[in-house]
């Protein structure tokens, strides 16, 4: 997907669904980042739970251009706030920073990353002392601190560095016995092909499953650092995964069924490719996780899905007697439920999945281990398992998402106003049965058949989502929605 022309002026500092992001060198500069980091650090101290006496703030970063240098720079801002920065000694997946916060009992974490955004973007994520993203009221308080104009003078100095990645991987091994996974892959003759999209989760699965990697039952592609990410956003979407799809198909054709597992740029989103080369977003993986955890493992808890999530998630959960809650898009809404009560699994269609047995945080490496566990224990390749699940529960067979880049933010506001005032009564020949405004506008057309229009929280981008009984119908509905958006 081509990126929009770079803006000439910086956008106001504002936090989206998970952090503050913008164009490196325009929105994200050292001069702008230092006061944001200082304000965030001060708010972490001010909002700390009673009894938390730590003064540490974990600092992490991904593999993007200048991310290591900017992470080093914000350490001085944290020191200027009279707090103690502890810096990861290498690029890490964002969940590793959350893990470090909990393990060290720190105030929170500041992570230099733009997650899945295009290569020219960078940003800052804030993690709370509970090991997950802070909520909207926290970031609003950070924004108010910036508006108040308080001055924090950065203090240079030596920063404690630690092996954040090693500690995180050790923690995952302690939560889940990985030995049977490697043995199962070898017994079944399968291969796992991992595509970290040049991001900071590279090497993680190989270190978690060393026996599988040593026997060539697990291998990684695109594992080297490339701040341009091959020219595409490091987002786990089918158009950016043609190399992985080709590798999986070739392995299966050669008589060795394969599954592809893909992570986004900072390792908190996951997707997969089945043995036939079909792209499997969390619209399909979430139902599999529900089936494995509630069915095979017999675990309890509520299933949390976002409004853009497949109806199949609800059908599988209800078939196993598990309650379902539907929330706006943004993992912070799922994390809030994980902190409030017993949750089996929570996930977004865009790849973020979290588990009640783990952190209140999306974690792609932990999800990958559970995916491999589900497939090994079930003895079926991914595609066969998903087809059987859909047949059993009667869910829709097709889903797709189209990201439509708009001319500018003014065009976005005009579209938002139109959809709020006059939502369509008919979509591609089908009458709209229900209009849901939990997040964006979701138009329900029938069982497991809907269209959703939602604007990105960080850029002039309209996301079009559709689930329908067939791929052809999905294409027709998305084409109709694109024409509607371009006509406004």
- The token pair that represents 80 in the structure block: 């200027």
Identify the band that residue 2 occupies on the pLDDT scale cut at 50, 70 and 90. very low
What's the pLDDT score for residue 183?
97
Round to whole Å and give the CA distance between 427 and 392: 29
Q: Which helix (H) or strand (E) holds 192?
A: strand 191-195
Q: Are 66 and 23 in contact (CB under 8 A)?
A: no
In the block, tokens 């005032």 appear at: 421
Kindly report, residue by residue over 260-298, the tens digit of the pLDDT.
Answer: 999 999 999 999 999 999 999 999 999 999 999 999 999
DSSP alpha helix (H) spans, 320-363: 331-340
Kindly report, residue by residue over 190-199, the tens digit of the pLDDT.
Answer: 999 999 999 9
Q: Are 196 and 260 in contact (CB under 8 A)?
A: no
What's the pLDDT score for residue 397?
73
What's the pLDDT score for residue 458?
62
Percent of the chain with pLDDT over 90: 87
Among 324, 348, 327, 323, which residue's Cα sits nearest to residue 336? 327
Q: Are 357 and 175 in contact (CB under 8 A)?
A: yes
CA torsion through residues 24, 94, 124, 347, sign = positive
DSSP alpha helix (H) spans, 157-241: 164-175, 179-188, 204-208, 210-214
Backbone phi, psi, residue 371, to 5°: -65, -45
Identify the band that residue 10 occupies on the pLDDT scale cut at 50, 70 and 90. confident
Please name each of the domains of the chain with its CATH number: 20-168 (3.40.120.10), 176-393 (3.40.120.10), 398-487 (3.30.310.50)
Q: Is the pLDDT of residue 209 over 60?
A: yes
What's the pLDDT score for residue 332?
83
- Structure letter (DSSP) for residue 292: I
Residues 6+ apart with CB under 8 A from 433: 444, 445, 446
Neighbouring CB atoms inside 10 A of 186's CB total: 14
Q: Rounded to whole angstroms, what are the CA distances from 393 to 229, 314, 315, 448?
A: 38, 10, 6, 11
Q: What is the mean pLDDT of residues 229-255?
A: 96
Q: Is the pLDDT of residue 150 over 80?
A: no
- The token pair that represents 311 in the structure block: 């109806």
Q: Are 261 and 371 in contact (CB under 8 A)?
A: yes
Distance between alpha carbon 177 and the CA centroid of its chain, in Å?
24
Q: Are 134 and 49 in contact (CB under 8 A)?
A: no
What's the pLDDT score for residue 149?
86
What's the pLDDT score for residue 411?
87
Round to whole Å and give the CA distance between 163 and 92: 10
Among 437, 472, 404, 470, which residue's Cα sits nearest to residue 1? 404
- The token pair that represents 318 in the structure block: 């209800």
Q: Rounded to whole angstroms, what are the CA distances from 132 to 102, 191, 193, 445?
A: 9, 32, 28, 35
Number of H helices, E strands in the chain: 16, 22
150 CB-side CA count, 13 A: 17
Neighbouring CB atoms inside 10 A of 190's CB total: 23
Q: Is the pLDDT of residue 147 over 80?
A: yes
Identify the band that residue 8 occupies on the pLDDT scale cut at 50, 70 and 90. low
Identify the band that residue 395 occupies on the pLDDT scale cut at 50, 70 and 90. confident
Q: Is the pLDDT of residue 437 over 50?
A: yes
What's the pLDDT score for residue 410?
87
């Amino acid at each position: 997907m081509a990126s929009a022309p770079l803006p000439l002026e910086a956008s106001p500092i504002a936090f989206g669904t998970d952090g503050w992001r913008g164009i490196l060198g325009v929105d994200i500069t050292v001069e702008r980042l230092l006061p944001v980091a200082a304000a965030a650090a001060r708010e972490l101290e001010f909002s700390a739970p009673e009894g938390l006496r730590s003064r540490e703030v974990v600092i992490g970063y991904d593999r993007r251009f200048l991310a290591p240098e900017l992470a080093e720079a914000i350490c001085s801002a944290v020191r200027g706030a009279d707090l103690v920065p502890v810096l990861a000694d290498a690029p890490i997946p964002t969940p590793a920073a959350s893990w470090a916060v909990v393990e060290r009992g720190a105030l929170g974490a500041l992570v230099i990353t733009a997650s899945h955004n295009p290569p020219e973007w960078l940003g800052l994520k804030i993690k709370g002392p509970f090991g997950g993203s802070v909520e909207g009221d926290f970031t609003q308080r950070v924004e108010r601190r910036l508006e108040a104009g308080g001055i924090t003078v950065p203090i240079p100095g030596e920063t404690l560095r630690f092996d954040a990645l090693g500690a995180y991987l050790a923690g995952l091994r302690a939560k889940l016995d990985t030995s049977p996974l490697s043995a199962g892959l070898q017994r079944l003759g399968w291969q796992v092909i991992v595509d970290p999209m040049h991001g900071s989760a590279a090497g993680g699965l190989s270190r978690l499953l060393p026996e599988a990697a040593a026997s060539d039952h697990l291998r990684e592609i695109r594992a080297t650092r490339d701040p341009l990410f091959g020219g595409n956003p490091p987002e786990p979407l089918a158009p950016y995964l043609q190399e992985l799809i080709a590798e999986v198909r070739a392995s299966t054709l050669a008589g060795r069924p394969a599954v592809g597992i893909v992570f986004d740029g900072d390792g908190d989103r996951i997707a997969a490719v089945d043995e036939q080369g079909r792209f499997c977003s969390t619209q399909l993986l979430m139902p599999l996780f529900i089936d494995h955890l509630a069915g095979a493992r017999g675990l309890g808890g509520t299933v949390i899905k976002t409004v853009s999530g497949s109806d199949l998630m609800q059908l599988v959960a209800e078939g196993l007697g598990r309650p379902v809650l539907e929330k706006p898009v943004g993992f912070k809404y799922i994390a809030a439920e994980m902190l409030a009560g017993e949750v089996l699994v929570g996930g977004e269609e865009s790849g973020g999945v979290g588990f009640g047995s783990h952190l209140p945080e999306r974690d792609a490496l932990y999800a990958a281990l559970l995916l491999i566990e589900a497939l090994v224990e079930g003895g079926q390749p991914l595609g066969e398992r998903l087809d059987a699940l859909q047949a059993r529960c009667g869910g829709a067979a097709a889903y797709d998402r189209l990201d439509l880049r708009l001319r500018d933010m003014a065009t976005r506001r005009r579209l938002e106003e139109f959809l709020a005032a006059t939502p369509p009564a008919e979509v591609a020949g089908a009458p709209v049965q229900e209009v849901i405004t939990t997040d964006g506008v979701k138009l329900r057309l029938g069982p497991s058949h809907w269209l959703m229009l939602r604007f990105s929280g960080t850029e002039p981008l309209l996301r079009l989502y559709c689930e329908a009984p067939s791929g052809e119908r999905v294409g027709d509905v998305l084409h109709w929605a694109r024409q509607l958006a371009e006509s406004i």
